[in-house]
Structure 1
Amino acid sequence: VSGGSGRGRPHGGGRRLEGLLRASAPKKEDVLNLSEDERLELSQSIRVFCIILVKPKDLGHWAAVKDTWSKHCDKAEFYSSENMKVFNSVVLNTNDMWMMMRKAYKLTYERYKDEFNWFFLAYPTTFAIIENLKYFLLKKDPAQPFYIGHAVKSGDLEYVDSEGGIVLSIGSLRRLSHIFEDTDKCPEQGGMIWKLSEDKQLAVCLKYTGVIAENAEDSEGKDIFNTKSVNTLIKEAMANHPEQVVDGCCSDMAITFNGLTPNHMHVMMYGVYRLRPYGHTYNDALIFLPPEDISRTSLYLSKLYQ
């Protein structure tokens, strides 16, 4: 389990590169070396709560996220700017993105701090592969203050770009909930000085608590939280590395892509969870089942051994 909670210090696997902290996924060999009991315990210990921020204009994406990847979260809730009769949501009664994010984190901590240890925030244009997120988090201690995603440096501020999704450990969310009480350091709404995007404002608040953004990478150093769609990344790879489009485009352990249409989300679900080349086997050492599948599996096993 990774450690290190000092102010601005890397957690296990974190390193500074080009001014940013980097957090790496575990190597597959390390997981294979674990005993079966250790793998089971680890896979069951990671519980991800998903926060999706939505507005009325997002209805099509909202429906797509509800029907696709959010089902793979241990629990997902939609936090909306106003009441929408079409879908159930937690109504925040504000249209300001920073106030929405702030309120959503505050409510999430109050309600779920004892049930979940990782918190993933996304927009409705984001597609996430939760199993890959859980694998990435496998050997990270949620009690430590992790703040992970597609990290960007803007002047002296290091922040996680919200378009790629933001991951906070319970350790970070606890610190964030405390700094929310200090409105001088973490204002409820932007003033004349605080004309920052919501993801930058979040980084400022977290920085006051000693939590610094980390860029997430796979074991080969490729980004795994993407702020662009697969289509865009492939087009860029075709222009820059035409001889290795597939290998050069994206990590095979990618966690998020952004800028997808509702239709593309359903295509991604088919590609990620359904399509398999005949004759190929996948010897993954861990299995992260979505909540519905866990219930079905438990019911099946209970009947099997009665």
Structure 2
Amino acid sequence: MKMVSEVGAFLKGMMLGGFFCALVTLIGNYNTRYETKEMPHIHHHHHIHAPKREEILSLSRTKRLQLTQNIRVYCIILVKPKNLGHWAAVRESWSKHCDKAGYFSSEDVKVFESINLGTSDMWVMMRKAFKYAYENYKDDYSWFLVVQPTTFAIIENLKYFLLNKDPKQPFYFGHTVVSGELQYVESEAGVVLSSAALNRLMSVFDDPVKCPEKGSMLWKLSADKELAVCLKYTGVLAENAEDSEGKELFNTKPVANLVQDAMSKKPTEVVEGCCSDVAITFSGLNPNHMHVMMYGVYRLRAYGHSFTDALLFLPPEGSDND
């Protein structure tokens, strides 16, 4: 009997050992997606800055006008039926300032025109939206902004930030977060890809190892991380967008929350400690807050005060923006 129990224990040990070996192998295969030694590397910096006012003023008026006309932004807005209130607010507010805005939904919605992607999986939605933008607009727009319907974007500030950036270089930026060895851009605050980065992304979409659509059978990454991994294989790294003073341009919170944070940390420097003067996005807004932001950013004016901006971003032709 003792020998039988020892044999049983031995067999159990063999089975458990085999299971853990298989598990380690699977994890090891999965983790190779993060290894940098197999991935092309382009640059080491992870922070990119908006141009300084002095840089813009040093350009001729003709050059400034040429630059502003050449920056064209295609906005990709990912929506689901449960977001109808946000969807309506985005359509009626900041999205009018995009050179073109496309709404990509998880299913058909009668009340709003959208492109039905036929899935509610955020990563698959993002992939299909990128593919649609590439196939239809790769030659018409130089920059591609992806946002959720709870985000308010100031497109003119985005264009200002892009003035000294070449879309033929592979840029991928927004508000970055580090997870282990992976640095990625949070889609909650908006993700921007240059046309070159989008081209590279398309090159790995059909590779199930470098850029799988369904993810691992052990666990599933968020859409943000999946995008970063796919781009990393092409040599495109996530970069944090900041103004010339190092302040964040893509924000994962509404203005009110950022002000509260600043008041608790720097009560004597609330405005200075809160937000950048050229912030690009604020996130986590409800539909009413979206309209309040629209009022504050575009409609409220100090009568008699003339602005002396060195740049003028004209509204897209045929748009009804504010």
TM-score (norm 2): 0.85
Candidates 117, 130, 136, aligned match of 2:155: 130
Equivalences for residues 81-100 of structure 1 within 5 A: 81-100=106-125
Candidates 22, 25, 39, aligned match of 2:50: 25
Aligned equivalents of 2:218, 2:210: Cα separation in 1: 12
* Cα offset, 1:124, TM superposition: 0.0
Please say if residues 72 and 289 of structure 1, whose CA atoms lie closer than 8 Å, have aligned partners that are also in contact.
no
Aligned equivalents of 1:107, 1:8: Cα separation in 2: 27
Equivalent position of 1:172 in the other structure: 197
Amino acid at match of 1:125: T
Q: What is the root-mean-square deviation in Å for CA atoms of aligned residues?
A: 1.5
Structure 1 residues 212, 240: closer, same or farther in 2, change over 3 A? same
Please say if residues 96 and 319 of structure 2, whose CA atoms lie closer than 8 Å, have aligned partners that are also in contact.
no
Residue by residue over 1:135-160, the C-alpha shift from the partner in whole angstroms, topping out at 9 and shown as x without a partner, is 00001000000001001111000100
Aligned equivalents of 1:283, 1:154: Cα separation in 2: 42
Residue by residue over 1:26-59, the C-alpha shift from the partner in whole angstroms, topping out at 9 and shown as x without a partner, is 0011101100110011000000000000000000
Aligned equivalents of 1:280, 1:117: Cα separation in 2: 34
Percentage of pairs with the same residue: 65
* Cα offset, 1:103, TM superposition: 0.7
Q: Are 2:286 and 1:261 aligned?
A: yes
Please say if residues 259 and 270 of structure 2, whose CA atoms lie closer than 8 Å, have aligned partners that are also in contact.
yes
SS of corresponding position for 1:266: helix
Aligned equivalents of 1:168, 1:265: Cα separation in 2: 24
Equivalent position of 1:120 in the other structure: 145
Aligned equivalents of 1:68, 1:57: Cα separation in 2: 19
Amino acid at match of 2:227: L
Which structure has the highest helix share of the two?
Answer: 2
Structure 1 residues 193, 288: closer, same or farther in 2, change over 3 A? farther
Amino acid at match of 1:23: I
Equivalent position of 2:43 in the other structure: 9
Equivalent position of 2:88 in the other structure: 63
SS of corresponding position for 1:143: coil
Please say if residues 50 and 75 of structure 1, whose CA atoms lie closer than 8 Å, have aligned partners that are also in contact.
yes
Candidates 158, 170, 188, aligned match of 1:145: 170
Aligned equivalents of 1:166, 1:129: Cα separation in 2: 13
* Cα offset, 1:247, TM superposition: 1.4
Amino acid at match of 2:109: M
Aligned equivalents of 2:316, 2:290: Cα separation in 1: 20
SS of corresponding position for 1:207: helix
Equivalent position of 1:232 in the other structure: 257
* Cα offset, 1:277, TM superposition: 2.7
Equivalences for residues 207-286 of structure 1 within 5 A: 207-286=232-311
SS of corresponding position for 1:242: coil
Equivalent position of 1:76 in the other structure: 101
Aligned equivalents of 1:233, 1:293: Cα separation in 2: 35
* Cα offset, 1:111, TM superposition: 0.7
SS of corresponding position for 1:137: helix
Aligned equivalents of 2:306, 2:281: Cα separation in 1: 24
Equivalent position of 1:3 in the other structure: none
Aligned equivalents of 1:206, 1:36: Cα separation in 2: 37
SS of corresponding position for 1:237: helix
Q: Are 2:63 and 1:38 aligned?
A: yes
Unaligned runs of 5+ in 2: 1-39
Equivalent position of 1:52 in the other structure: 77
Please say if residues 75 and 100 of structure 2, whose CA atoms lie closer than 8 Å, have aligned partners that are also in contact.
yes
Aligned equivalents of 1:193, 1:115: Cα separation in 2: 40
Residue by residue over 1:35-87, the C-alpha shift from the partner in whole angstroms, topping out at 9 and shown as x without a partner, is 01100110000000000000000000000000100000000000000000010
Equivalent position of 1:187 in the other structure: 212
Equivalent position of 2:28 in the other structure: none
Aligned equivalents of 1:190, 1:206: Cα separation in 2: 15
Residue by residue over 1:118-172, the C-alpha shift from the partner in whole angstroms, topping out at 9 and shown as x without a partner, is 0000000000000000000001000000001001111000100111100000000
**Which stretch shifts more, 131-140 or 269-278?**
269-278
SS of corresponding position for 1:38: helix
